[in-house]
Amino acid sequence: MSATTLKPHQKELFGHPVGLYVLFFTEMWERFSYYGMRAILVIYMIAEASHEDGPGLGWTNLEAYQLYGWYVMLVYVISIPGGILADKVLGQRKTVMLGAVILVLGHGTLAIESDWAFFVGLTLIIIGVGCLKPNISTMVGGLYKKGDIRRDKGFSIFYIGINLGSLLATSIIGVVVAEWGWHAGFGLAGFAMLFGLAVYIYGQKYIEHVGNKPTAEENSNDVSIVKLFSKIFKSPIQLVIFIVLLALSIYAGFTFEGVDHWGYGALFIFLSFVVGLLMMIYKSLESNIMKDRFLVLLLSFLLVIVFWGAFEQAGGLMSVYTETKTDRMLFGYLIPTPMFQGLNAGFIILLAVWVANIWAKRKLKNKEASSLFKMATGTIIMGLGFVFMIFAVREYDANGSSGMQWLVLAYLFHTIGELSSSPVSLSFVTKLAPIKYASLMMGLYFAATGLGGKVAGILGEKSVSFGEYTIFSGIVIFTVVFGLLVILLLKPLKRLTHGAEDNERIMHNDETEGFELADPDINN
């Protein structure tokens, strides 16, 4: 077929479908809007009316950390119904469009100087990200036929767009806030999302063949969560466990001290249903091999919660520390706080190939390079980054301020840890999840990531009572001990996977230049 007769969705640019670049720029601007808003969210909440960047909400640190934890958790948890909406009703392409529109409205609402606009804007952003995030990456995979060796490189290109958007946002948003105020920063995030929506609308002809509405036959083959969970009423032991957990959750949640006790009540009830669902999945598995792999998969979710519970301090406790206790003067210029969050994206762009090649070379030498080992090692490396925050706190206690070098080193270690752990975690889910529950386990992976965000908020809250030194030290100790424990248990855990990764091989030459990613956007 000649080039002149190719349909738009069949056209290629630099060896990849044009649709990849449509999704690249859509996601780049969406990540610009998300990380731009995230970079100033907590410091806006704690800013007083007399703040140099304009009036903030004047909340206490405790209140800001509470909202931040709920926000990060919900952004990921709402991805579950966002994925279901796409899988069952609209298809990924239309659900991404819906999410982009809602995000434009959400960021635009945040630009309005009013308390109601703040809460409505955040709610819309949570819903918008929930619709867009889990579906746009799926569409990237859909651009390539099964077995197409370009798929991993396509995801690598897509991953660059994610981090480029984050880097641009955190580099620019602080300057805008310093010059024109908080709401100008929120408004800039809205304009960025509007650009992303425009790109997506323009590029529809290049992606018309992916992410379409599922057929009735495809829907009929999916596992019904309701039907699966309903089987618990025919399983006495599991039913008793579920009822006890539910009763304890209701009691604990609604007697919880604090203004957000209702939130914890809902969270504990949700977790009780999740536990009940997991018990029924385990019981329904037909072989011991599948059951063993399922148990290892649940352990990997614990690693995910621990990792993101520590990593998400970037937008919470570390952001506040940067704003209030760090000497940010460089050559007579005050570096805006949001720029420091951009270090993560910058380091990813610089180091991603290097880290991927280190792991590839280990595997070529037949050294330990399993997914669990990478996840545990990444968690340890990321946790060790908080050692530099301990040094920062000690310097602040001695001199009244701490140097920027501690933040740079902390973000460097966090990024190396992320590149070791995050890219392989979702791939691990695809290897171990039972085929008929694959989509459901993906949703639970998002939920685990969201719970990590909630843990991050809780740790921020505790810093108000115990201080940053205690929290940073606790993160170092827990992440290192937990990661080492997984490594110590690696042999029996690998036996329980029953060779799920034994058939993998390392590609040579230019094929090792890509990232080892199944879905690079999953945590970014």
As a whole number, mean pLDDT of residues 320-341 equals 89
Q: Indicate if the pLDDT at residue 49 is higher than 80.
A: no
Q: Would 13-220 and 299-519 be classified into the same CATH topology? A: yes
Give the model's pLDDT for residue 382: 95
Neighbours of 220 (CB within 10 A): 9
Q: Indicate if the pLDDT at residue 388 is higher than 90.
A: yes
Give the model's pLDDT for residue 396: 93
Give the model's pLDDT for residue 513: 39
Q: Domain ranges in the chain?
A: 13-220, 223-284, 299-519
Give the model's pLDDT for residue 406: 96
Greater confidence, 216 or 354? 354
Of 349-358, 472-481, 511-520, minimum mean pLDDT range: 511-520
pLDDT above 90 coverage of the chain, percent? 30
Q: Is the pTM of this model over 0.75?
A: yes
Give the model's pLDDT for residue 480: 96
Give the model's pLDDT for residue 119: 92
Cα(35)–Cα(24) distance, integer angstroms: 16
Of 75-84, 323-332, 381-390, minimum mean pLDDT range: 75-84
Give tens-digit pLDDT for 140-177: 877 887 767 677 677 778 878 888 988 899 889 888 88
Give the model's pLDDT for residue 508: 39
Give tens-digit pLDDT for 456-502: 999 999 999 999 999 999 999 999 999 999 999 988 988 888 777 66
Of 278-292, 447-461, 507-521, minimum mean pLDDT range: 507-521
Cα(354)–Cα(512) distance, integer angstroms: 11
- Per the structure block, which two tokens stand in for 34? 């998300």
Residue 391 — very low, low, confident or very high, per pLDDT cuts 50/70/90?
A: very high
The answer for residues whose C-beta is within 8 angstroms of residue 169's C-beta and 6 or more apart is: 31, 32, 33, 34, 35, 36, 39, 189, 192, 338, 342
Give the model's pLDDT for residue 486: 93
Give the model's pLDDT for residue 454: 92
| Closest to 344 measured CA to CA, from 513, 164, 190 | 164
| Closest to 315 measured CA to CA, from 166, 208, 168 | 166
Give the model's pLDDT for residue 514: 39
Residue 455 — very low, low, confident or very high, per pLDDT cuts 50/70/90?
A: very high
- Per the structure block, which two tokens stand in for 112? 């309005």
CATH superfamily to which 299-519 belongs:
MFS general substrate transporter like domains (1.20.1250.20)
Give the model's pLDDT for residue 53: 61
The answer for residues whose C-beta is within 8 angstroms of residue 348's C-beta and 6 or more apart is: 163, 415, 418, 419
Q: Indicate if the pLDDT at residue 509 is higher than 50.
A: no
Give the model's pLDDT for residue 2: 47
Give the model's pLDDT for residue 223: 62
Give the model's pLDDT for residue 517: 41
Cα(443)–Cα(75) distance, integer angstroms: 13
As a whole number, mean pLDDT of residues 314-334 equals 90
Residue 260 — very low, low, confident or very high, per pLDDT cuts 50/70/90?
A: confident
Taking 3-state DSSP, the helix, strand and coil percentages for the chain, each rounded to the nearest 5, stand at 80, 0, 20
- Domain 13-220 sits in CATH at 1.20.1250.20
Give the model's pLDDT for residue 304: 92
Give the model's pLDDT for residue 359: 85
pLDDT mean across residues, the chain:
84
Give tens-digit pLDDT for 231-259: 888 888 989 998 998 898 888 777 777 66
Give the model's pLDDT for residue 512: 38
Give tens-digit pLDDT for 70-111: 998 998 888 888 888 887 788 888 999 999 999 999 998 988
Contacts 24+ apart (CB under 8 A), 495-500: 496/292, 496/293, 496/295, 496/296, 497/292, 497/293, 497/296, 497/431, 497/432, 498/289, 498/292, 498/293, 500/293, 500/431, 500/432
